[in-house]
Amino acid sequence: MKRYKGLITAVVVVGLMGGPGTVAEAASPQPGGRLLYVEFATTTLVPGQLKSAQPDGNGGQDLGKSLPWYAGPDYSPDGTKFVYAEGMSLRIADADGGNDEWFVAGPSGPSFPRWSPDGRWIATEAGGIHAWRTDRSEYSNLATAFENIAMAWAPGGKRFATVTNDGEVRIYRVGNQEPVKRFAVAEPRQVDWSPDGKTLAVQAQGDIVLITVSTGVIRRVTSTPEVYESSPVWSPDGGWIAYGSGAAGYDEYGNPHTVAPVIHLMTRTGTDQHPTSIAGIPTSWRSY
């Protein structure tokens, strides 16, 4: 995991949408599936409790693990398992937290692991973007550039997006070390790719921005100076985005963190922003 210092302060944004209380678009279906999240009772500076719940807060389950914010647990595509970072390693457990097993050790401390859409690979940031087959039969250094700090697979698994500590969102093709697209975004931290492949949701400067992949148009959909929003994840049907939101704070290095975050939801275009009853930061969302 990297410290984030000296990040650029300019952000390319087209349009300003939304904010808490924005009117919903017509007849957005209510979200289903199950959220994986980390509950932080005070601040994201200290480890939180890994839990899961339905988006309306029902069916909550404590998975019995205390994890830092960068552990980034991610469900497998079929929702039966999840992967997370711990120390220098990645670990895999059943969806209920059982059968927890060591998977691989990273070349450096891993963060924000992500399961490929076909379920055959797990990728993570660990001084670049690294990936292993789930049976550990093959390894690939997907992106050697050390400035990449988190990634998200595209639907189909032939491309992936990264955010960097020098103010870019990048798109790569698997097997190519040079990005095929670059977008200038200030202080990006997390990224998730929509299920239809059209849009990236990005945490940037403590807000959420949406990037249209085909055109590069960037829209800031939250604007909350005293509130820190983070960790956007798409619903399985692509109709909703979950994200964490709480009072903004800063550690001794000047890195931002969130005080007592609560999971919020918005539609895929950034409207109907509202809090849920779930305290924490979402890390993955699957339908099962």
Order of strands across the sheet that contains 89-94: 74-75, 81-86, 89-94, 101-105
In single-letter form, the type of residue at position 61 comes to Q
CA distances from 281 to 75, 81, 214, 262, 276 (A): 15, 19, 29, 7, 11
Burial class (CB in 10 A: 0-12, 13-18, 19+), 26: exposed
**Are 192 and 216 within 8 A, CB to CB?**
no
Task: Fill in the DSSP letter of residue 41.
Answer: S
Considering the domain boundaries, does residue 189 fall inside one? yes
d(CA 73, CA 92) in angstroms, rounded, equals 9
Considering the domain boundaries, does residue 190 fall inside one? yes
Per-residue pLDDT tens listing for the chain (288 residues): 433 333 333 333 443 334 444 444 544 678 999 999 999 989 999 999 999 999 999 999 999 999 999 999 999 999 999 999 999 999 999 999 999 999 999 999 999 999 999 999 999 999 999 999 999 999 999 999 999 999 999 999 999 999 999 999 999 999 999 999 999 999 999 999 999 999 999 999 999 999 999 999 999 999 988 899 999 999 999 999 999 999 998 877 777 789 999 999 999 999 999 999 999 999 999 987
Q: Show the domain range for 254.
A: 34-286
Considering the domain boundaries, does residue 3 fall inside one? no
Considering the domain boundaries, does residue 252 fall inside one? yes
Tokens 């939250």 label which residue? 222
Considering the domain boundaries, does residue 27 fall inside one? no
**163 alpha-carbon distance from chain centroid:** 11
User: pTM for the whole thing?
Assistant: 0.90
pLDDT at 94: 98
Tokens 């389950």 label which residue? 61
Considering the domain boundaries, does residue 1 fall inside one? no
Considering the domain boundaries, does residue 8 fall inside one? no
Q: What is the pLDDT of residues 177-199, one digit of tens each?
A: 999 999 999 999 999 999 999 99
CATH code, domain with 215: 2.120.10.30
Considering the domain boundaries, does residue 208 fall inside one? yes
pLDDT at 39: 98
**Are 15 and 26 within 8 A, CB to CB?**
no
pLDDT at 28: 60
Please give the tally of structural domains in the chain.
Answer: 1
pLDDT at 15: 39
d(CA 175, CA 140) in angstroms, rounded, equals 9
Q: What is the pLDDT of residues 21-75, one digit of tens each?
A: 444 454 467 899 999 999 998 999 999 999 999 999 999 999 999 999 999 999 9
